[in-house]
Homo-oligomer: A and B are copies of this chain.
């Protein structure tokens, strides 16, 4: 039942939805509450909430005719994991090492317009 990374990223790659999550990070709220700060229709916010729900980033709890939304940050961990994995795998140090090797190995430096 784990959520595809892409769904998670698509979900948070929108300012409105991030604001919703931030709001929920300060406690439960109804859809209307969450919608209040935005200059858009309730229907639009409802759609955003649906996207976040499909991405398992929030949970709905029906209480009578209202629905209390609460944050479910679990899927965000996969994002963090991807970032960590991508940014630390070889990359940087090896990058600079590579640059050093290139400089050292090439006797004829073409032009040094390159900026680092």
Cβ–Cβ contact B111 & A87, under 8 A: no
Contact B79 A83 (CB under 8 A): yes
Distance A71 CA – B95 CA, assembled complex (angstroms): 8
Copies in the complex: 2
Give chain B nearest CB distance to A49 CB in angstroms: 16
| Residues of chain B within 8 A of A24, CB atoms compared | 91
What's the minimum C-beta distance from A75 to chain B, rounded to whole angstroms?
Answer: 10
Q: Which residues of B contact A64 (CB under 8 A)?
A: 110-111
Taking the nearest CB of chain B, how far is it from the CB of A98, in angstroms? 6
Q: Is B83 in contact with A71, judged by CB distance below 8 angstroms? A: no
Docked complex: A62-88 residues within 8 A CB-CB of B: 62-64, 70-71, 73, 76, 79-80, 82-84, 86-87
A residues touching B (Cβ–Cβ < 8 Å)?
Answer: 5-6, 9-10, 12-15, 18, 21-22, 24-28, 61-64, 70-71, 73, 76, 79-80, 82-84, 86-87, 89-92, 94-95, 98, 110-112, 114
